[in-house]
Structure 1
């Protein structure tokens, strides 16, 4: 294949990518509550260029895409990932689901989230025996955790703030500081935990 042919293939690929790229950049920018000016300042890419990318009016260079991906704290692969609206159905078996145990061996976190979203959204099936405690180190700054209790009662401790939740209740809290989940009472706990990485800081 000649150099001209390779260049034509690359240009065609860029056109295919750009249609989804603009939507992806705009969605992530809004998810992080960034204005065009703020993203321009953080990325070093001109506000006008970002606006053109989001409207799919230009095919940015790889260097530009890299700067934007760094500012949005995601991998360039995810920015360039295909977003075609094709039918999608995927099954994960019990064997395919990773499980993490707490230090005391009484809490189990089954990682049921999708690997492709792990950089910004993680979710788990949480099960804990009576007396179980899950202590966690801080996540990324601005991260928010949501714990929805299906059965039993838990107590969440975040920087000295303590709150309980029983079946049917949900606790949401900043998890960018040390935090702990404790089982309250004689019943085991079953819950769903979702962690939104780098969410807007909630004062």
Structure 2
């Protein structure tokens, strides 16, 4: 009987490690999707930076309260954060409430994250809206990264380290985003575009 109990403990421990391992990957992907540092997430969640780091490295089994605080800071439900990718259905639906939205500093640009969270480290895609005069200024991504901006309506201008190009509805701009880059709505009407960022894809001649 004692042996069975010890075996059960081992199974529970293994299960906890599996959950924590998936949780750590999920927390890290979400944090990077929001462009948050460990310090940023710690400040927003109230969870110590060292604890978040341990969770991401699968070195600790967090309490439900900790998971709840991290989920709130990342704007996701606890259920979605805890869900294991191994058991996830092939068809996944995200509601409007589940879809993260980033807003530019001037409040005039909105970047809706519609890409898959699992690919955020190498492929990101967004639905981009900008009011007239709106400007989205971005720091350089990793070396070799390329961004593709397909304009659906309005007129957008891209400035990459001083090189400027403009696109209207039906046109696409592709540019290096491993240097500081800015997207501006230079038209008189709201602009809408689809944006894809390939973080590790491009090798330029």
- TM-score normalised by the shorter chain: which range applies? 0.5 to 0.7
Per the alignment, residue 182 of structure 2 pairs with: 180
Gaps of 5+ in 1: 2-80
Quote the Cα distance in structure 2 between the aligned partners of 1:195 and 1:94. 22
- Cα deviation, residue 184, structure 1: 1.3
- Cα deviation, residue 87, structure 1: 7.1
1:151 aligned onto 2:147: no
Per the alignment, residue 162 of structure 1 pairs with: 164
Quote the Cα distance in structure 1 between the aligned partners of 2:111 and 2:118. 19
What secondary structure does 1:163 align onto? strand
Quote the Cα distance in structure 2 between the aligned partners of 1:125 and 1:90. 18
State TM-score, norm by structure 2: 0.57
Quote the Cα distance in structure 2 between the aligned partners of 1:87 and 1:93. 15
Per the alignment, residue 201 of structure 1 pairs with: 203
Higher helix fraction (1 or 2): 2
Please report the RMSD computed on the Cα atoms of aligned residues, expressed in angstroms: 2.2
What secondary structure does 1:108 align onto? strand
- Cα deviation, residue 152, structure 1: 0.1
Per the alignment, residue 121 of structure 2 pairs with: 119
- Cα deviation, residue 200, structure 1: 2.6
Quote the Cα distance in structure 2 between the aligned partners of 1:118 and 1:139. 12
Runs of 4+ aligned structure 1 residues displaced above 2 Å come to none
Gaps of 5+ in 2: 4-84
